Structure 1
């Protein structure tokens, strides 16, 4: 049974218990949760309300936590026990298929500011490299019949990440109160599933310790033709863009992706990231100053004649290419990993290629599809 929450008002030495009353509407509760999802006990960012699935169903609220994991919040309303549990499981089966780009699109369609900005405002850090590594399903209710409780408890025993949160509405002397309790407590936070004996592990794969994803955005300030010719990757225009390049260790295998095109190269990091105007690259077996080469892009972010600050400067990482192709021959298949960060660990096995040659790579290419 869920923990019953009692609230008493102290009148001198005598406690006076507040009596619960009927919630005006569950729509009001949904609005409360959208405005302040911390009512659930965890910090969450709501990225969608009444989210339409491909099956013409509407998810009440979709949220993300600081780890990038998704939370489906579904109000019980007047549905039967079987209906509400089946509905939240159905929603979960679809939400687990959402890739990084789809989640960003959903969030940007709901929020009044870019997802990255909203995430950092709520959690104090940029979004993680990967989103949707794990899922939590939450039924929001003002009461729960024994049948629903029995079903949810049984599912949790088998590691299904589902829980029920109860809200009680109280009034006292003109003041209104909202009390919360959970069907099952958790070691991993209010909405987690840490106490389940067969704990849900999510779908985030282990990192192999070698492969990194790198986004090479051209956008007029840099050119993939240069990067391919002289052996480097670069990013800049702010620490949010260049900072992750400093995480690349020497010897790392980088899988280079051009946004909206696809993957164009696999290579090995030769040296750590340095300012572009100080970087060297390996050309014909010799280290040469990168900025002295015949480049087709400016690799600058400030006004002409003014040196970029360290925060705004372009940074470059020298790379030995194992395989590389022009942008026009980029490789992309729907479902491959893509990310807005300049560099992050690449875990997704579907993307990890291991292609030994350009001919093998281009032989698998599907030119009709474009990368995220």
Structure 2
């Protein structure tokens, strides 16, 4: 079941702020259309009320930083069977879309809802949204189905969990709680299944290979220096994640001595190395500065930023894992081929054929012996 969220106002004694039903599902759709990062910060909205060949309309269609499509459907007043069947039907169509189809959907979306930006291409919007120089070579190599509701009934939860657990369908549900305290309004979000677990379930159900003892790491590099920067990681020997427990906790999978292959979303693979220790908070990660003194990395010269903004909530700090690099390349030389493995987890122990293929190809491309 999803984690329940409750809010208390702290006066002389804590007073609960009761949750209400949001005014309408259409208002929730509008909120997500205005800011899709409320649902997931790794998404770019590319379509709204997207017509399908079967006479139905997808509420919202998005693309993630790996070029995979995400179908987002609001439950509205439909039964669990109706809404889940609708999602699966949409998925059967979305999987057939090629990059030209996706670009056409995005163009129609801008023309209808943002005519002032009608001349913006999908590629330019994608690159601006995810701070990359070009889109991935493979677009829509996989897709995800997402049900959004103001609340979830037990039947819907059972159906979605069954599809994910037993058949490896990339499907999830998220519900939003709406709170009002005087004139202020609040919206909270909770997932039915941890999004990272969905990726793992999909990969495990597609294949049941034993783990090949090679770790996958996703490194959220930012060119503009606002967050972690790959050149800092190369120079000081680390990988990192931050922004909340969901992003950080998978770093604990990385055991000392294990070999990691590092992927930058939207770019490709940029390094292979051996885990030394970690994870630790950025201000506890010691390096030598240009004077040869051992200092916290936050006090060393950096191209990026490993310090969370002061107004970010507690628990969003950056954590670093120390790595001894075997080989790395700059971001502009990142290695990517069609069929390579990628997902949004900060770290993972994949068991899919795609991961085995990816590692074997990377060994050749990086010239790493067995």
Instruction: Establish whether residue 167 from structure 1 lines up as the match of residue 167 from structure 2.
Output: no
Structure 1 residue 50: Cα displacement: 0.4
Cα distance change, pair 200–9 in 1 and its aligned pair in 2 (3 A): farther
Cα distance change, pair 196–8 in 1 and its aligned pair in 2 (3 A): farther
Deviations 1:34-67 (A, max 9, x none): 1111111332111000000010110000000110
Partners in 1 of 2:203 and 2:64 — Cα distance? Answer: 23
Aligned to 1:115: 122
Whether the 8 Å contact between 1:186 and 1:195 is mirrored in structure 2 is no
Flag structure 2 segments of 5+ consecutive residues without an equivalent.
111-116, 208-266, 268-335, 341-370
Alignment of 1:23-34 (within 5 A): 23-34=22-33
Whether the 8 Å contact between 1:193 and 1:200 is mirrored in structure 2 is no
Partners in 1 of 2:205 and 2:40 — Cα distance? Answer: 20
Cα distance change, pair 54–170 in 1 and its aligned pair in 2 (3 A): same
Alignment of 1:1-372 (within 5 A): 1-12=1-12, 14-111=13-110, 112=117, 113-125=120-132, 126-157=134-165, 158-187=167-196, 192-195=198-201, 198-199=204-205, 345=337
Aligned length: 204
Partners in 2 of 1:182 and 1:193 — Cα distance? Answer: 14
Deviations 1:8-49 (A, max 9, x none): 22225x222210112111111111111111111332111000
Deviations 1:323-363 (A, max 9, x none): xxxxxxxxxxxxxxxxxxxxx84569xxxxxxxxxxxxxxx
Specify which structure has the higher proportion of helix. 2
Q: Any idea what SS the aligned residue of 1:3 has?
A: coil
Cα distance change, pair 346–135 in 1 and its aligned pair in 2 (3 A): closer
Structure 1 residue 196: Cα displacement: 5.4
Whether the 8 Å contact between 1:71 and 1:137 is mirrored in structure 2 is yes
Structure ID, larger Rg: 1
Structure 1 residue 138: Cα displacement: 0.3
Structure 1 residue 98: Cα displacement: 0.3
**Structure 1: 4+ residue segments shifted above 6 A:** none
